[in-house]
């Protein structure tokens, strides 16, 4: 079965699809809950605001399907806002509920971080317990990835943090638990390291 890439109108969808195809992924782009439910793995791309993303996911019924996918421990990759909506709530444009698959709240980067949003390359440093995670295979610790975001994931459980990045504070840039993984950066815009991470995800799916 192919990897289901969810199409809910995210602006980075074409680039994510192109990058996944470049690393050999067998995929289907879909808006259909049943296709996602039966897929071997799922990718949730994302740019923009969590509130708008949640409206779109609910309209498609994905808010009911995605918890089933995660509960079944099927490989899942969230990208940028696709990571943020996994949390219980977001403070972006007022406090609102998200998918609630990961305990925590999406909060604004601190003013002392400098220019917000953070746009550009930044280093990703692995947590000691996650350095051998298969998602990081053949990617050196401290490698640069491309970020575009104003908010970050403030997790309740630090054990889910697979990697951190510094921008005013050390925020989770990768979370992982079982077959669930999510990244705050954009692997589809991150050159060789981004493609390697996507290649690693495809390998996990196989």
The single residue of 80, 98, 193, 205 carrying the catalytic annotation is 80
Q: What is the DSSP letter of 28?
A: E
Q: What is the Cα–Cα distance from 56 to 118, expressed in whole angstroms?
A: 25
Quote the tokens at residue 73. Answer: 């421990």
Read off the tokens for 85. Answer: 């909506």
Active site residue 186: yes
State the catalytic residue, choosing from 92, 153, 186, 205.
186
**Residue among 92, 188, 193, 205 flagged as catalytic:** 188
Give the number of other CB atoms < 10 A from CB of residue 29.
Answer: 17
- Whether 86 and 78 have beta carbons less than 8 Å apart is answered as yes
188 is catalytic: yes
**Known catalytic membership, residue 80:** yes
What the block records as the tokens of 52 is 């708008």
Known catalytic residues are 80, 186, 188
């Amino acid at each position: 079965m192919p990897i289901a890439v969810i199409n809910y109108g995210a602006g980075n969808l074409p680039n994510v699809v192109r990058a996944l195809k470049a690393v050999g992924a067998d995929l289907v782009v879909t808006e259909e809950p049943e296709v996602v439910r039966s897929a071997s793995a799922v990718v949730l791309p994302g740019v923009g605001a969590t509130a708008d993303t949640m409206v779109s996911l609910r309209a498609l019924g994905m808010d009911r399907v995605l918890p089933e996918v995660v509960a079944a421990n099927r490989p899942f990759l969230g990208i940028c806002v696709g990571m943020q909506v996994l949390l219980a709530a977001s403070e972006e444009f007022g406090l609102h509920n998200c998918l609630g698959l990961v305990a925590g709240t999406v909060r604004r980067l601190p003013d002392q971080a400098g220019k917000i949003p953070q746009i550009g390359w930044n280093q990703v440093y692995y947590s000691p317990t996650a350095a051998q995670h298969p998602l990081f295979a053949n990617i050196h610790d401290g490698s640069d990835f491309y970020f575009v975001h104003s908010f970050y994931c403030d997790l309740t459980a630090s054990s889910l943090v697979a990697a951190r990045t510094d921008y005013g504070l050390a925020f989770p840039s990768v979370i992982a638990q079982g077959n669930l993984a999510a990244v705050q950066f954009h692997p589809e815009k991150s050159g060789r390291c981004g493609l390697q991470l996507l290649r690693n995800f495809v390998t996990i799916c196989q």
